[in-house]
């Protein structure tokens, strides 16, 4: 087997926002949307090697359908250095309404994949009366709920995945949860647990608006914002 030559990467680490109708597309469609915009912008993105080359991009944490974001992160490797301001303006000019890059920085080729370093996430959840009951879940030693895994409904204890609940007002909270490849708590699973644990209204849970506001990595035992 022939070893493939390593391609030197000049990475743009970009923070983007997704809202409105674009929040209802799947992760693969989101990737294709970015790929198409970068190609149309004629930027020197690196492609994977092999029989079916694809533009190389790494998203920090796939977004669920229906979840907005104010600060998600994607690494876009380039074959040559690119000025961050040029990257932002050219890509934004090709992206659809409701999907925009907010900022970007040039970073050295990372030793670890962006996806592999994610440890936690913040979600702002807006729903009728959620601020009056959500923090009660922190008093429980166990939070038992169900979720779908590999096509099956399983029962799980998610208490250790709930890191914090901060009340903004009666109808909104910021939820901090474990997130990433090893441990990950989806907002919908938390909402299910809220209904079963503190009798939160199921209709209000279904009508909740969820926005991911921050992603964190673990740096020497402390959670630090990725971007």
Query: pLDDT per position in the chain (227 positions), as tens?
Result: 445 566 789 999 999 999 999 999 999 999 999 999 999 999 999 988 777 788 889 999 999 999 999 989 999 999 999 999 999 999 999 999 999 999 999 998 888 899 999 999 999 999 999 999 999 999 999 999 988 877 888 899 999 999 999 999 999 999 999 999 889 999 999 999 999 999 999 999 999 999 999 999 998 889 999 97
Backbone angles phi, psi at 140, to 5 degrees: -85, 140
Task: Indicate if 60 and 87 belong to the same structural domain.
Answer: yes
Task: Name the nearest CA neighbour of 24 among 62, 67, 60, 59.
Answer: 67
* Number of separate domains in the chain: 2
User: Residues 173, 105: one domain?
Assistant: no
In a domain, 188, yes or no: yes
Select from 111, 137, 164 the last residue of a domain: 111
**Whose CA is closest to 218, among 166, 186, 179?**
179
Residue 187 lies in a domain: yes
Q: Does residue 200 share a domain with residue 215?
A: yes
CATH number at residue 85: 3.30.70.580
147 φ, ψ to 5°? -150, 160
Print the domain residue range for 122.
117-225
User: What's the whole-model pTM score?
Assistant: 0.91
In this structure, the answer to whether residues 62 and 130 fall within a common structural domain is: no
Pair of tokens at residue 157: 């204890």
Q: 83, 111, 139: which is the final residue of a domain? A: 111
**φ/ψ (deg, to 5) at 221:** 85, 0
Q: Find, among 195, 181, 190, 182, the residue nearest to 147 by Cα.
A: 190
Phi, psi angle pair for 189, to nearest 5°:
-70, -40
Q: Does a structural domain hold residue 21?
A: yes
Which stretches of the chain are DSSP H helices?
27-40, 84-92, 114-117, 187-198, 202-206
Q: Nearest CA to 109 among 199, 209, 6, 186?
A: 6
Is 86 in the same domain as 125? no
Domain boundary among 92, 111, 130: 111
Judge whether 1 lies within some domain: no
**Judgement on whether residues 126 and 160 belong to the same structural domain of the protein:** yes
Are 139 and 57 contained in the same domain?
A: no
Residue 71 inside a domain? The answer is yes
Residues 122, 220: one domain? yes
């Amino acid at each position: 087997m022939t070893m493939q030559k390593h391609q030197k990467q000049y990475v743009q680490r970009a923070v983007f926002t997704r809202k409105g109708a674009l929040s209802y597309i799947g992760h693969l469609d989101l990737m294709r949307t970015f790929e198409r915009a970068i190609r149309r912008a004629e930027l020197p993105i690196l492609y994977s090697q092999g029989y079916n080359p694809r533009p190389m991009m790494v998203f920090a944490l796939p977004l669920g359908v229906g979840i907005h974001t104010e600060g998600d992160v994607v690494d876009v490797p380039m074959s040559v250095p690119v000025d961050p301001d040029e990257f932002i303006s050219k890509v934004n000019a090709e992206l659809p309404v409701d999907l925009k890059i907010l900022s970007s920085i040039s970073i050295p080729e990372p030793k670890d994949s962006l996806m592999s370093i994610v440890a936690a996430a913040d979600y702002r959840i807006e729903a009728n009366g959620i601020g009056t009951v959500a923090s009660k879940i922190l008093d429980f030693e166990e939070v038992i709920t169900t979720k779908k895994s590999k096509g099956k409904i399983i029962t799980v204890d998610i208490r250790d995945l709930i890191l914090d609940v901060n009340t903004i007002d009666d109808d909104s909270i910021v939820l901090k949860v474990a997130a990433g490849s090893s441990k990950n708590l989806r907002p919908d699973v938390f909402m299910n647990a809220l209904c079963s644990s503190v009798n939160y209204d199921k209709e209000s849970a279904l009508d909740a608006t969820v926005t991911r506001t921050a992603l964190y990595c673990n740096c020497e035992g402390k959670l630090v914002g990725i971007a």
